[in-house]
Amino acid sequence: MTGRTHSIVEETAPASAPCPARNPVVAAHFWRRRPGVTALIAGVLMLAVLSPRPMHGTDDARYHNQTAQVVAVIAGNLVEVNLPDHDHPTTRVRLWGVRTVDEAAANAYLRDHLLGREVNLLLAPDRSRDDAGQLLAYVAAEIGEPTINELLLESRLARVDTTMAHPMAAAFAAIERKARRNAPSQ
């Protein structure tokens, strides 16, 4: 090959090679000549690894069947517990499967029944966070007793939330129907 100009592809890969870019020498040459692309890819990978985000895979291990103290009632179906959530000292827990009918009454109910008490958090295996990053859980004041989610339905302070599928949807619908049937006529 004396006296002839040739490229690195000709030098490292025979003409019959299916893809010269699969050759490590060619690939190294490509990345050396494009440091901006290399830096961009490295930056994206670092952001993906280091950025704080809800980690669904670990929520089950961190929260399922854990006991926590309710430290605040935020809304009729949202409480805060004393378990840390990444860089926050507390975790916001949305009562999964219920939406409040009377926000003020549901809020008062949660304050009376949960605030300052220990509760047990029960998570479903396929989804543990809502779109806002709040933990989705069934909250039980006592193991083996109905969840607060169910008690809100029984007391007609909440209705079944049909915006997200969840494992207790059918049972919650039955509780709501029974509460309506047994309600005093007005």
88-107 tens-digit pLDDT? 999 999 999 999 999 999 99
- The predicted pLDDT at position 78 comes to 96
**Among residues 98, 114, 63, which one has the least CA distance to residue 84?**
63
- The predicted pLDDT at position 103 comes to 94
Q: Where in the chain is the domain with CATH 2.40.50.90?
A: 56-181
The token pair that represents 110 in the structure block: 């949660």
Q: How far apart are CA 64 and CA 48, in angstroms?
A: 26
Banded model confidence at residue 8, pLDDT cuts 50, 70, 90: very low
* 85 touches 119 (CB < 8 A): no
Q: How far apart are CA 178 and CA 182, in angstroms?
A: 6
10-61 tens-digit pLDDT? 444 455 544 545 566 555 555 466 666 555 555 444 444 344 434 445 898 8
CATH architecture assignment, domain 56-181: Beta Barrel (2.40)
- The predicted pLDDT at position 2 comes to 52
Over residues 58-70, mean pLDDT:
92
| pTM of the predicted model over 0.85 | no
Q: How far apart are CA 97 and CA 167, in angstroms?
A: 9
Give the phi and the psi of residue 71 in degrees, each rounded to 5: -105, -15
